[in-house]
Amino acid sequence: KLAPKSQLKASARRSYYSYRNRSPSSPCNREPPLVFVKSVSNVLSVAIKSGDTVFIHGAAATPRGLIPAMVEHGKKVGLKNVTVCHIHTEGAAEYNAPDCQGIFRSMSFFVGANCREAINSGRADFVPIFLNEIPLVFHKGVLPVDVALVHVTPPDIHGYCSMGTSVDCARAALTHAKYIIGQVNEHMPRTYGDGNIHVSHFDALVQHNAKLPEHKPSQLTDVEVKIGKNIAENLVDNGATLQMGIGSIPDAVLNVLKGHKDLGIHSEMFSDGVVDLVEAGCITNNKKVIERGRIVGSFCIGTQRLFDFMNCNAGLVMLDVGYVNNPQIICENPKVTAINSCIEVDDLWPKWCPTPLVPRIYSGFGGPTVDFLRGAAI
């Protein structure tokens, strides 16, 4: 059932006292009811105001059907000082364009390629924070969220949508958001874990069927292949629990682990290399303590092959990053091995750096790396 724009105006923003049950996975009785819309611009004109904070779902779940429309709407109506909060979005990140200065300002917890220039030029902000602590920013009210833009599956027969490829901090953000807009996409894989949202929690749903943003595996250099082989043969034991960060080195390690047995995955993110090892019988998760027998992740980037693997896969759970990246949870698993990339290594002291030692930010400090370094060391 589609609603006219006039009905959207009745969709007053929620406050803490609007209704008692704020758990996204539980149905709620609320007024006004959910509104289905055809026009993205109609719902954005009601939802987003000057001075608002807008949270955007990220990684492979970036709602590309909503972001360009949001930017176009902001320019058209003359919005001012809208904060766009996210971990990392895929695509053009139109809100970072120079002509959006004064309209939108990005505030990200990770520095990706689509916001690096804006951050280093002073048009956008980076918040250094451990990944496991980001949900607390929302739960403690440090950053109140006015509008959340999330990317979900169509509701099932019980009315549940799934956040699919990315739970990370999105569950925390939408739990406290005053207005929730969902981009419904039949191509989003349905996953188990913390990413279930009952349809009654949305203020508006917009149908936008499109393939998810993909990251093709990069071609590894000879040096990267050698590094991956050295790590796999000397530092990864049978029965180890693996965390893999972003970059060619984690990919290189995964490529040469097919001789290992009973590996487990407990990682904030994963990509296509995990699928190969599951199919080869190397990843069983049988030695893990946390979620034994199942892959644990919080978000992912990869190709359609990965998304197909994730869809309705009971051997995989996508959980809140405050849990996945908690060092006290990480250390419960056996032989935790954290594999991450770095940009610089000090040749005099045993120190490495994930971002260059120059007055420019590359990926930023904090994130998942330190969470898993601590968890592996405990």
Sequence spans of domains, the chain: 5-207, 222-377
Rounded average pLDDT over 131-151: 95
Answer yes or no: is pLDDT of 147 > 90: yes
Q: Say yes or no to pLDDT of 220 above 80.
A: yes
Residue 169 reports pLDDT greater than 60? yes
What's the pLDDT at 246? Answer: 79
Report pLDDT for 42: 81
Q: What is the pLDDT of residue 12?
A: 45
Contact assessment for residue 179 and residue 47, using Cβ atoms and an 8 Å cutoff: yes
Contact 48/70 with Cβ under 8 angstroms?
A: yes
How do strand 104-108 and strand 125-126 relate by DSSP bridges? parallel
What are the structure tokens assigned to 218, written together?
Answer: 């990069």
Let me know if 268 is a catalytic residue: yes
- 327: tokens are 């060092």
- pLDDT of residue 317 exceeding 50, the answer is yes
Instruction: Give the pLDDT score at 373.
Output: 86
Question: Can you tell me the distance from the alpha carbon of 33 to that of 300, in angstroms, rounded to the nearest whole number?
Answer: 32
Largest CA distance in the chain: 67
Distance CA 101, CA 83 (A): 11
- Location of structure tokens 């027969």: 157
Give the model's confidence band at 245: pLDDT under 50 very low, under 70 low, under 90 confident, else very high. confident
Start-to-end C-alpha separation, the chain: 53
Q: Find, among 302, 364, 368, 300, the residue nearest to 330 by Cα.
A: 368
pTM above 0.75, yes or no: yes
Interatomic CA distance for residues 172 and 320, integer angstroms:
8
- pLDDT tens figures, 61-115: 999 999 999 999 999 999 999 999 999 999 999 999 999 999 999 999 999 899 9
The catalytically annotated residue of 90, 94, 224, 268 is 268
**Residue 365 pLDDT grade (very low, low, confident, very high; cuts 50, 70, 90):** low
CATH number of 222-377: 3.30.750.70
CB 54 within 8 Å of CB 83: yes
Six token digits for residue 286: 């049988």
pLDDT band at 125 (very low <50, low <70, confident <90, very high): very high
> What pLDDT was estimated at residue 7?
47
Region 249-266: what's the mean pLDDT? 94
Both tokens of residue 331?
């250390």
User: Is 222-377 the same fold as 5-207?
Assistant: no
Superfamily per CATH, domain 5-207: Glutaconate Coenzyme A-transferase (3.40.1080.10)
Between 343 and 303, residue with greater pLDDT: 303
